[in-house]
Amino acid sequence: MTLILFNKPYGVLSQFTDRGTPEARATLSDHIDRPGVYPAGRLDRDSEGLLLLTDDGRLQARIADPRFKLAKTYWVQVEGGPDDVALDRLRQGVTLKDGATRPAEVERIPPPPLWPRDPPIRVRAAIPDHWLRLTIREGRNRQVRRMTAAVGLPTLRLVRCRIGDWSLGDLAPGTWREA
């Protein structure tokens, strides 16, 4: 069994080929030359951080399938001030267009030790930004971004730092290692 921990850079698709647009977009094949492994779950093109790849179908299902409720933790830079009301709403679960989310674990944190993002996030002088550590146990499409937006805190930067027992550690963007 092979398990790869990959630090997916911003702008990279969570797949090995791109059939979506005529212009070429970065994919996993630009970073990982390892036949037979596939992503266990997804990470949006505009999100960064930990992506697991494996050649084991059972492990892939255990990581990606929401029935297993595997914790996924993110560092989330949000626009605005995360007050207790907004954080409590996230902790209780919020209602999105596709239904209510499971409760999240969330806390304010100081800026995490991250690499510069290319391109940098949009900064507005009149609106502060803050960092949260947010853990969910499901994985809907763009769920964290939709959850923070639902409580009035648009996401500026999203970095997945942990999936279950596996963490990003000191992996630089675009690099990987076997677990």
Are 82 and 129 a contacting pair, CB within 8 Å? no
Give residues with Cβ within 8 angstroms of 136, minimum separation 6: 71, 72, 74, 101, 102, 104, 143, 144, 147
Query: Does the annotation mark 56 as catalytic?
Result: no
Q: How far is CA 168 from CA 8, 88, 162, 178, in A?
A: 10, 27, 6, 12
Residue tagged active-site, from 30, 44, 46, 65: 44
Instruction: Point out which residues pair with 72 in neighbouring strands.
Output: 136, 163
DSSP three-state, residue 92:
helix
Beta strand pairing call for 166-167 and 72-79: unpaired
**Residues taking part in catalysis:** 44
